[in-house]
Amino acid sequence: MRTLPRNDPRQYDDLVDEWWAPRGGFAMLHWIAAARATRIPAGTGLLVDLACGGGLLAPHVNGYRHVGLDLSAPALQQAREHGVTPVRADVLRLPLRDEVADVVVAGEVLEHVTDLAAAVREACRVLRPGGTLVIDTIADTWFGRFSSITVGERLPAGPPKRLHDPDLYVDRQELRDLCAKEGVELELVGLRPSVPDYLLWLVGRRQDVRMRTTGSTAGLFQAWGTKR
């Protein structure tokens, strides 16, 4: 694979075969997607999946029309094959009208954008009043950098090397303030893999790993809220 700068989106084109590979390089993203889905309310309507990648949320979405936006055309093809309606677009400039979505999901994307405020504005702009915003991302802390890069890039199922630029990690209070400005008050919890599940996964005795919530949001964290 090409050696590209950290956070270069072309890496996802090179890694396209990993999206649905059993025990592939994106294995943990499947586990996080399952945890993300627990914050999506039961219902119908339109669910907008920002930076949907290969469509890993698709198996967990029921009732909604699932529209996925991403920059990577090869990833969107994978998403289409799993039932997602694909749209090639930048999360900083969504080609959607105001207040069209019942749910907006921003999973593992905010730590990759160069303009957090613009990404939040766009996510909230397309969300209808009463709709749900669901986020997971990485905190701008020493532990966020240590867990996702120093250790994470060396662990099986951890993120492939060089996908993350720690300079773009998310300040939690800034995220709260930006969302509040757009009418969404966030709740936050930390996320981590279940240690027993992960050990069983390593030796081939589990196919997936459950994510556990934690009181600390200093690493990977989940956030959700309803638009006023």
CATH number (3.40.50.150, 3.30.70.580, 3.40.50.11890, 2.60.40.2470) of 10-137+157-188 reads: 3.40.50.150
Which residue, among 132, 155, 159, has the nearest Cα to 220 in the 3D structure? 159
pLDDT (average), residues 102-106: 98
pLDDT in tens, 105-123: 999 999 999 999 999 999 9
Which pLDDT belongs to residue 20?
A: 97
Is 214:189 a contact under the CB 8 Å cutoff?
A: yes
pLDDT at 48: 99
Per residue in 129-167, pLDDT (tens digit) is: 999 999 999 999 999 999 999 999 999 999 999 999 999
Residue 1 has pLDDT above 80, yes or no: no
CA quadruple 224, 54, 35, 217: dihedral sign:
negative
pTM, whole model, 2 decimals? 0.97
Helices 116-125, 172-181: axis angle to 10 degrees equals 40
Q: What confidence score (pLDDT) does residue 2 get? A: 80
Q: How far apart are CA 118 and CA 123, in angstroms?
A: 9
- What mean pLDDT do residues 3-17 have? 94
